[in-house]
Amino acid sequence: MSKYEPLREHLARLEDVVWAAKLDELEDILGTNLPRSAREHRTWWANSGGSLVHQNSWLDAGWRVERTDLMRDVIVFRRLRIGGTIAVGKSQSAERAAKSPKRAAEKRLAKEMPALRQPATVTLRSEWTTLGDVHHTPCSSNSIPQQGGVLRFAAMEGDTIVTAIVATLGVQQVYRGLRVRMKGLDAEDESRVGSELIEKAGLDAAEPVECDVVKSGNAWLLTDGRGRKADLDDRSECYLVAQLLYLQELQSGRKSTLLLR
């Protein structure tokens, strides 16, 4: 099959009478680069036909080149008749039809990839709400949201502060679990949550532990200057915000633990 067969097929499918094509567009259709002479010499686009395979591709489809503007990389085709003159076998036609979607997908993907590969900057703007010392702030406090959010527990380890960043879809549940465990109350399910936090974060249940929270509406994700509020009730976005806050802890020189619940 000629490398210019995709151009013949494209022209045969067109319903227009005139088609002004950019050279880059023609290369996309062919799936390969045009020869140098096609970009430099008008004679390459002549309608002589015969043994010139590339010219037969538009002539056999019922089109002719009406005008060339190589300064602007434009070729203008005009339809001569409806349909082409080459009879294609059923098996060959079926084979091309089967391959065509894949080829079109490959071209589309290759065309879209440069935009995907552009450098991107994702930043977070957030505001912490103070909940206070877990020993003294009751679980019923109105400042503790029930929905998703990111908690930060902070405690002293010698002369330094250590933190634990916790992403959760139930802020009050996690806070209650830690408070129940630290107060030594009898609530098995909730105490288990608190025990897990203490074990993984390295907190001391007998020592003061300050808690802050980023609530829904207090976190914005910005990508290349365009921002929107983060949905902290969405697991993936809540985790993303927590990961960015965790990185901020590390960049500030603090020892920190990231927990996803």
Name the 3-class secondary structure at 57: helix
Does any domain span residue 249?
yes
Spatial separation of the C-alpha atoms in residues 42 and 38, rounded to whole Å: 7
Number of Cβ within 10 Å of residue 174's Cβ equals 26
For the chain, which ranges sit under pLDDT 50? 83-94, 97
Same domain, 34 and 136: no
pLDDT at 247: 94
Q: Rounded distance, CA 4 to CA 58, Å?
A: 9
The confidence score (pLDDT) of residue 119 equals 75
Which residues are CB-contacts of 112 (< 8 A; sequence separation ≥ 6)? none
pLDDT, residue 190, reads 63
Nearest Cα neighbor of 134 from 122, 143, 147, 121 is 143
With b for 16 or more beta-carbon neighbours within 10 A and e for fewer, the 233-255 pattern comes to eeeebbbbbbbbbbeebeeeeee
Mean residue pLDDT of the chain comes to: 85
pLDDT (tens digit per residue) in 189-218: 666 778 888 888 888 888 999 999 999 899
pTM: 0.57
User: Last residue of some domain: 66, 86, 106?
Assistant: 86
Q: Give the H/E segment covering residue 10.
A: helix 5-13
Percent of the chain with pLDDT over 90: 56
Tell me what pLDDT residue 28 has. Answer: 93
Domain that holds residue 50: 5-86
93 lies in some domain:
no
> Of 36, 60, 86, which residue sits at a domain end?
86
Answer whether residue 251 is part of any domain: yes
Residue 106 lies in a domain: no
